[in-house]
Structure 1
C-alpha cells in the first residue's frame, strides 16, 4: 500500500514546499474554493470533505458517502485539481475516497476546513496517522459540536388531498392536453423513456393545476414508485432548515433518491442560494432519468424572479397551459358540486336554468363556482324557498359584483406592444435607442403605469433595470403626444382595449 501521509504529520507537499505547514496550505485551498463556488455550495458539498494526505503527487481526499463522491467528481473535480495545483507544488491528481462508518466514528475528529490555532497545535503535537484505513483516536483535542436533529418535516413532502385524483378531475377543452400528459407520466413504467421531462403546467388561480399535480402523486404512489410532492414554500423551508441544521446533504440525497418530483407554485421560489439548489436538483434528477413535474401561474419565460438558467431548464421540457374554463366545463363543475352538496342536504335541488345562469355569470375559476354552490345551498336551506334564476341572482350577487377586472401583467404589455410595432420584446428591454424601438418602449412603460399597480422603480426594473426617472419621462412623453397626435391616441386606446378584454 502506498504511504498516504496524514495532513497533520507532514510539513510540506512535494519538492519546493518544505517548511510550509499543511494546515495553512489546506486552509488556503479551502478559502479559494469557497470564494469560487460560494458559501452555500461550499457548505453543502465540501463541508465533510477531508484531506487524508499526499502520495506520489496525488492528493487523497475522502467523503462519507458514495453520492457525495460521485457529485464532486462529476461537477467539481477539475476545479479542485486546478486550485490544489496552484497552491501545492507537485500535485498531479486528486483521488476521492469514501470513508467507512467505523473510520468516521473512530478514526477521525470532525473539524472545519480552516482549523483554529488550538486545533492546529493539538494536531501537530499528536499527529493522526492513517495506515490501514483506521486511525487511532487522539487522546486530546476538541470534539466536533453535535449537529441539530433532523426535522422530519424538512425531508417530507407536502400533504396530499385524497379527493384530488384523476377520477375526480373534470375534463374540458382547456385542460385536456395537460391531463393527457400528466396521465401518461403517472402510468409510465420504469423502462419507458421520459418523453416529457420536465413537464411544466401553468395556469391562473383555481383552474385545476394543483388537482392535476396531486393526482399524479397519488397514481405514482399507487404504482409503488417513489414520489415527493412539494410546494415551493415547502421546498424553501426544507432547504433553509437543512442548511441551519447542517443536514443539507441528507436533504439533497432525499430528493435525489426519488423517481418523480412534483413541485407546485414555483413562482414563489425566492433566494439566490435556494434557486441554485433547485437548479442543481433539476439537473441531477434529469441526468439520472427521474421525472419532474412543475406547476406555476405563468410560463417559464415570465418568471422574472427566477434566474435565467432555471427558466431555461424549465422551458426545456413540455410546457402546457391550462386555459380558462369554458362554459361546458363550468356547467360540469357546478353539476358535480351540486351532487356532492345533495349528499349533505337531500332536499337541495337546482334546476338546469339556474345552473346555466350561474355558469354564464361566473367565469373566473372553479373556486368561485364552489362558492356559488355554497351560497345557493345556504339560501335554499335558510329561506326554504325554491331556487329560480331570480333568487340565484340574489344569492350569488356578491360573487358577480366583486369579480375583479382582468389583471394586466407588465410582461403581457411588453409582448403586445412588441408585436403591434413589429419589434421583439428583447428590443424593448434592451438599451437600443433607435426610433423604431424607443417609441414602443415608451408606450409600453406608459401602459404599465396606467394599467398596473406597479411603482415607477418596479416598472423600471421590469424594463431592463432602468431608473424610475426614465419611466416618468416616458409616461409624460406619451401623455403629451396622445393629446396632440390623434393617430397615436387611437393606437394606445386600441392596445388598452386588447389588454383589458
Structure 2
C-alpha cells in the first residue's frame, strides 16, 4: 500500500519511443491521489498506435477501473509529462460486465465519497498503545471483509487518526481486489443524498447503490442524531449489508451508546461487531508521530527539541503536525537551525497550537477575507452563499485554533450563529486537512500571516 505515496520515485516502467510511465504516474500521485492504486506500478506502455499512448493492464477489472474513472487524469498527466496533447488507450483483458466494475455506481456525489488521501494507508499509520486495538481490527477487516469485526466502530476525539485508519481500510480492500464496490464518506452526505433522492423520486436507485456495496465506510456517525429519515434509511441499509456479509465501518467522536438521539435499535446494531477506541496519543506515540512527520517535512529535529514538542502538545496528531509547521516556519523566518530554544520561542508565541488570545478575531476575519477576495461584512454577515461559506468556515476554524474564545463567542461574531455551527465548521475543515494537501498549505500560510503580522 505504500506505493500510493511512493509512485513519484518509482523507476521507469516500460519505455516506448521515449515515453516513460514514471512521470505520468508521479503526476497522478500528486494531482489525483484518490485514484491511485498500488497495481499502477505494474502498468506497462505498449507504444503508440495512431497517435495514442497505449497502456497495458493485466486484469479485466483493472482495465474497467481505468476506463471508467482514470482516462481524463491519465491524459492530463501525459500532456504534462510530454509537453504535448496525447490520447491514452488502455488495453488488456476485457471487457468486463458493469456489475464487476470497481468502486460504486457513478451517481452524482459518489466520486466525492471515494476521494481517498494517498497518505492514509496502513503502513503510514503510527501505531501505539492508544490505537493498537483499532489498528489490529482494521488490518483484520482488510484481510476478511464481512468478518470477524462487522461492523467495526472506531471512535475517539478529533485528530487522533480515525479518518486515516478508516481510509486505510478502503485502500487495503481495493488493493487486494480492485473490483470491489466501495463507498467512503460522511453520514451527512449519506443523509443529504437520501433526501435528494426523495425529492427526485429516485429512492429505489439510491437504495440499490448503497445496498449492493461490498464495503461501506461512514464517518461522523454522530451527525445522524435527530435525523429521523436518515436513521430509518441507515437502519435498513445496515440490515441489508450485514445480512449479506458485506463489511460496514463506522466512525464517530464517541461510542454508540453515548450518542444521544440515536435510535436504540441502531445503537444495538453498531455494537454487534467490535467497538474500538482511539485515545489521545501517549508520549511514546507522540514521539513516533513527530519523527514520521519531521521526516516527511525534511526537518532536522534534535532529540531534545522533539521531546519538548511531544511533552507540550498532548491533544492529537493533528496538533503535533501544526506545531511542527509552526517550528519549521519560525526556523525558516529566522534563518536558524531548530533547537529546543527555538521550539520554546515558536510554541510560546500565538499560533495554531497555543490557543493564547494573542491573535484578534477581527484580524483573522480580515486576513481570510483578503485571501478569498470577499468582503469582511459578508464573511461575518447572515448570508449563506457558496462564495462566503468556505471562507467563513476557515475563519471559524482558525479562530478555534488561534484564540481562546468559546464556541458561542465565535458564533456571535459571525452573524450570531449557534455554537454548533462553529463546531461543524471546525470538524469540516479538520477533515479536509486530513485529505487535502492544498488545504494544509493554505492553513499554514494563513497561520504564518496571522502569527508574523504579514
Cα deviation for residue 196 of structure 1 reads 1.1
1:375 is aligned to: 326
Higher Rg: 1
2:307 is aligned to: 356
Of 272, 282, 285, the match for 1:326: 282
Deviations 1:261-305 (CA, angstroms, capped at 9, x unpaired): 111111112410111001111111111111111010001111112
2:174 is aligned to: 221
1:238 equivalenced with 2:215 (yes/no): no
1:479 is aligned to: none
Q: What's the TM-score once normalised by structure 1's chain length?
A: 0.48
Deviations 1:399-434 (CA, angstroms, capped at 9, x unpaired): 554289xxxxxxxxxxxxxxxxxxxxxxxxxxxxxx
Runs of 4+ in 1 over 4 A off after TM superposition: none
Query: Where does the alignment leave 5 or more consecutive residues of structure 1 unmatched?
Result: 1-149, 343-347, 405-451, 455-501
CA distance in 2, matches of 1:381, 1:323: 33
Of 384, 390, 397, the match for 2:341: 390
CA distance in 2, matches of 1:231, 1:219: 19
Aligned-residue CA RMSD in angstroms? Answer: 2.2
CA distance in 1, matches of 2:147, 2:140: 10
Q: How does 1:476-487 map to 2 (within 5 A)?
A: none
Cα deviation for residue 156 of structure 1 reads 6.2
CA distance in 2, matches of 1:230, 1:340: 27
Classify the secondary structure of the residue corresponding to 1:215. Answer: helix
1:302 equivalenced with 2:258 (yes/no): yes
Deviations 1:473-499 (CA, angstroms, capped at 9, x unpaired): xxxxxxxxxxxxxxxxxxxxxxxxxxx
1:272 is aligned to: 228
Aligned residues: 250
- Note closer, same or farther for the CA distance 1:161–1:266 as it changes in structure 2 (3 Å cut): same
Of 157, 164, 184, the match for 1:204: 157
Higher relative contact order (CA 8 A, sep 6+): 2
Deviations 1:3-38 (CA, angstroms, capped at 9, x unpaired): xxxxxxxxxxxxxxxxxxxxxxxxxxxxxxxxxxxx
CA distance in 1, matches of 2:111, 2:188: 13
Query: Where does the alignment leave 5 or more consecutive residues of structure 2 unmatched?
Result: 1-105, 358-405, 409-454
1:289 is aligned to: 245
Contact 2:140 2:148 in 1 (8 A): no
Contact 1:155 1:251 in 2 (8 A): no
- Note closer, same or farther for the CA distance 1:388–1:164 as it changes in structure 2 (3 Å cut): same
1:249 is aligned to: 204
Contact 1:236 1:274 in 2 (8 A): yes
